A and B are shown apart, each in its own frame.
Chain A
Amino acid sequence: MAISVKVMNRPEPEDTSYLRAALSGMALTFRHMVSPTTVTQQYPEEQTDLSPRWRGTHRMEVHADGRPKCVACGLCPTVCPANCIRLVGGEDDQGNRYPIVYEIDEFRCIFCGMCQEVCPVEAIHVGRHFENAEYDRSRFVYDLDRLMEQDHPTTLLWDPSDPSSE
């Protein structure tokens, strides 16, 4: 016998059983059949409670007059580890900076939430939301209008009464 071969100590054929083993197996499956202990979550009807730390789809805060709060400072594209934010800033005639292009690629985003942490004006947030399925790949790049339209709650990591986490 080769040295690496492990010899299993199998029972003798006289000591083995097929019928009794099969019947006890069938008894087991029957018990499960009549009283299944289902743990399946009926997803669209039953929703999971999201963790307080949940970081999901982004949203852009807006001023009362409908302008985005973003001042196009460029901190979020700089800090973004996945490099998924594209920002082209502009300046209006009063000297206020605003984003001309603000796009987040939700495919590349790793939802670390650092854009929210770094934002000086509390404009960009990650939200308590994850159902963002689409029929088209291109729809996953959220532009500024789309980010402003998002109406799901922001993550509980951010407390609106203490916006700069002090």
Chain B
Amino acid sequence: METLQPIAGIWGLVAMSLKTLVIFSGLILVVAYTTLAERRVSAWIQDRVGPNRVGWFGLLQPVADGIKNFLKEETLPATASRAFFVLAPVLVLVPSLITFAVIPIAAPLPTPVGVVDMIIADVPIGILYVLAFSSLAVYGVVLGGWSSNNKFAFLGSLRASAQMVSYEVALGLSLIPVLMLAGNVTLTEVVWQQQQLGMWFAFPLSLAFILFVISAFAETNRLPFDMPEAESELVTGYHTEYSAMKFSAFMISEFGHMVTASALMATLFLGGWDLPGTWDDAFWHQGQLIRGFAADGSVLLASPALWKTALTFVGFACKTALFVLLFIWIRWTLPRFRYDQVMSLGWKVMLPTSLAYLMLIGGTILVLDEIGLAWGFWYGLGLTAVSGAATAVFMFYLDRGRTITGAAAQRQHMAIKSTSEPVAAGD
């Protein structure tokens, strides 16, 4: 019988190498097929067919795209800053994929030589690592736009830096309620606490979930926040001057961001690889792989199995795919915000809301702890009620058109002052 010890020694090294290889090559494959999913789903939404020529149902289309991008002519603008121009795609690509290293993808897998955690690096700084690397991506975007020596690319990268910095604030603040509930920044513990709470954080922290989704859209530069690209205004924004595989690197990183953000949302708010019920729960608690605690405080040992790992991985993949679909669906529905709308949403709505919600959740946790409610389903239900009320207020406020409204409606209030003067163009 296998020992329920974490894998170590030479086998640990082998397991780590295998995990890194499999997860990252799998991620690249998923990213490639996300491009196909985007094209097929957008086609269905617009009553078209989409790419269906290469392979069965167009399943070889990403391969064809890859070959095309490798064979295409690579242009280097004469006035571009060569070193930075080449560096920028790398700087964008790496952070978008490397974030995946701290996301647990399935329940621990038992092997004859020890239990393998289904995560590349269970680093103690978890979410901080995610935030650090997602901030790094803006450097590549800014560098790409600046080094191209192109006005449109430069404008795109300016917008990107302003937008990503703005929404990073709301992103970080909407994460703090999760950290307060989980009590730790490692993503394995976030998953574990959701298992213990008996409900996924999307319910007790519904407003944080919504704020995080909105910020994630802004961080990944997807519509309705694709100001850095804005192909109708800026050609294609920061990657205007890029071609062939360098351009492809930007596209891969955009989709990589999307997949990683989806996986992160699934982990933080939809329980990660957790499936309903306690049969799959597993967590390293003082050297033991436990399923939970009995009423008297003694530990219940977990029983990991291959089928549990496989099933939880499927669960995780489905949750991630759900968010990827949401990304695509929203992209092909909502029109792009104006730049001032993006800024006012970020600073005048997202930031105050996330701060107020932070205090609300902190207060609620304090009150629930004072009452002496045990960490469990009822605790989560109390938080759900408070968060639901906060979400309703937020939705009501956001829907009234005070923040994201047509230009004409906003202007009408100030137009009374000077009716004879036409509004200056380009203001």
Contact = CB atoms under 8 A, between A and B. Distances in A.
A137 interface: no
Interface string A29-53: 1101110111110100000000000
Nearest to A11: B409
A16 B47 contact: no
A14 B413 CA distance: 12
At the interface, is chain B mostly helix, strand, loop or mixed?
Answer: loop
Contacts of A19: 395, 398-399
Contacts of B413: 13
Query: How extensive is the interface on chain A, given as a class?
Result: 20 to 34
Range of interface residues on B (Cβ < 8 Å): 20 to 34
Interface of A: 1-2, 5, 8, 10-20, 22, 25-26, 28-30, 32-34, 36-40, 42
B48 A16 contact: no
Contact of B400 (A8, A13, A32, A37): A13
Interface in B392-421: 395, 398-406, 408-410, 412-413, 419-420
Given A8-B408, A29-B329, A33-B41, A14 B47 contact: no
A29 B333 contact: yes
Contact of A37 (B47, B399, B412): B47
A40 B329 contact: no
Contacts of A32: 44-47
A11 B408 CA distance: 9
B289 to A, nearest CB: 41
Nearest to A20: B399
14 contacts: A2-B422, A5-B422, A8-B408, A13-B413, A18-B398, A18-B404, A19-B395, A20-B399, A22-B334, A26-B329, A26-B333, A32-B44, A34-B44, A38-B49
A1 B409 contact: no
A1 B422 CA distance: 8
A17 B413 CA distance: 17
A159 to B, nearest CB: 39
A36 B47 contact: yes
A26 B410 CA distance: 25
A153 B413 CA distance: 71
Given A18-B401, A32-B47, 7 more contacts: A13-B405, A18-B404, A20-B399, A22-B333, A22-B334, A26-B334, A36-B44
B409 A13 contact: yes
Interface in B45-103: 45-49
A74 to B, nearest CB: 47
A15 B45 contact: no
Contacts of A13: 400-402, 405, 409-410, 413
B41 to A, nearest CB: 6
A5 B413 CA distance: 18
A10 B330 contact: no
Contacts of B419: 1
Given A32-B47, A38-B47, A14 B400 contact: yes
A26 B329 CA distance: 7
A17 B399 contact: yes
A8 B408 CA distance: 8
A16 B330 contact: no
Q: Which of A10, A28, A39: most chain B CB closer than 10 A?
A: A10
Given A2-B422, A19-B398, A40 B48 contact: yes
B279 to A, nearest CB: 33
A42 B422 CA distance: 52
A46 to B, nearest CB: 12
Contacts of A39: 47
